[in-house]
Amino acid sequence: MPFEALDLNDGNKVPSIAFGTGTALRGKDVTRFCEMAIETGFSHLDTAQRYSTEETVGQAIRESGLARSDLYVTSKYGYGEIQLSVRASLYLLQLTYLDLYLLHHPSFVPDIEAAWKQFERIKDDGLAKSIGVSNFNLEQLQTVVKSARILPAVNQINFSPYNYARNKDLLAYSATHGIVTAAYSSLAPITRYPGGPVDAPVAAAAKRLGITPTQVILLWVKSKGVLIVTTSSSKEHLEEYIAVGDLSPLTDEEIAAIDAAGAQGPPSGIARRRKPAVLVAAGATLLFLAFLTRFMSC
């Protein structure tokens, strides 16, 4: 089944896979990467004030030659007065409206409820067709919902098999209110935590379907009804991602196996990743002690 648009609770729709311009692309000229994503089949571009990529995302949009309605653009508030910030984002993007505007992180505002009222005004003024949040946990999302005149349409979170178990209540609450969950860092089992318990069920599904482990993870995210936000500077990888829309789904048993493996948590790779730093520090200490011993013996 191809990547289909997801229904939002405000009557709009959102493409269910997006090309993100954060992580490794943060602060870079992303013009050619966005153009490559569009050529590959991505119609949803995800940027943010704090990524410092809005200007070159806008350049890519203009150079694509596509009609504004052919592309879906998400940006996020990061700092400053909210009304000025959204207008600054639109200026850099050279757009008259955003399809989706997110409050990037609850810690970026002193008062979540007051900030959300400013977001409602943004939608009222037509500066964004839909509004939402990002990195909100269950309690924070409940704070917004209980006082909202316009419900958040999306909550974009860090989401992978290794944190699915602790996010289940958040996903269930969001679904109750028609709030779409969007996922970033979903490929963490491959990029950050290789060698973990998720590897085995992912490899088994990949072998059955004749696809890559990366595609299995994205199929798993898709099975949860979650919007995928992913990125790469490689066209080959982008083609790998977009091809997931045409792949056969995972079986219920495969999904359950990945869920169960992910619930065990990531491997002790965190310790392994820290080991080099520990060794460097230990080496520096030994050198200092050697120097000190030699100095005192002089």
Residues β-bridged to residue 6: 14
pLDDT tens digits, residue range 53-108?
999 999 999 999 999 999 999 999 999 999 999 999 999 999 999 999 999 999 99
Give the pLDDT mean for 133-155: 98
Average pLDDT, the chain: 92
Check residue 213 and give its pLDDT: 98
pLDDT band of residue 269 (cuts 50, 70, 90) is low
Read off the tokens for 206: 């990949």
- What CATH topology corresponds to 6-267? TIM Barrel (3.20.20)
Choose the catalytic residue: 51, 101, 162, 164: 51
**Confidence label for 289 from pLDDT (cuts 50, 70 and 90):** very low
How would DSSP label each residue in 221-235? HHHTTPEEEE--S-H
Biggest distance spanned by C-alpha atoms of the chain: 80
pLDDT band at 292 (very low <50, low <70, confident <90, very high): very low
Choice between 281 and 237, residue whose per-residue pLDDT is larger: 237
Q: Which tokens belong to 50?
A: 């704090």
Q: Is the Cα dihedral 109, 111, 112, 116 positive or negative?
A: negative
pTM score:
0.89
Rg of the chain over Cα atoms, rounded to whole angstroms, equals 22
2 — pLDDT class (breaks 50, 70, 90): confident
Q: pLDDT confidence of 268, banded at 50, 70, 90?
A: confident
In angstroms, rounded to a whole number, what is the distance separating the alpha carbons of residues 201 and 216?
Answer: 10
Beta strands in the chain (DSSP E): 6-7, 13-14, 17-20, 44-46, 72-77, 98-103, 128-134, 154-158, 180-184, 227-230
Polymer length of the chain: 298
DSSP bridge pairs for 133: 103, 155
Question: Confidence band (pLDDT; 50, 70, 90) for 283?
Answer: very low
| 142 token code pair | 């409940």
51 classed as catalytic: yes
Q: Enumerate the β-bridge partners of residue 130.
A: 100
105 annotated ligand binder = no
Q: Which tokens belong to 182?
A: 């969007």
Does the pLDDT of residue 154 top 80, yes or no?
yes
How would you class 128 by CB atoms within 10 Å of its CB: exposed for 0-12, middle for 13-18, buried for 19 or more? buried
What is the band of 263 on the pLDDT scale with cuts at 50, 70, 90? very high
* Region 209-235 average pLDDT: 98
Please state, in angstroms and rounded to a whole number, the distance separating the CA atoms of residues 243 and 64: 21
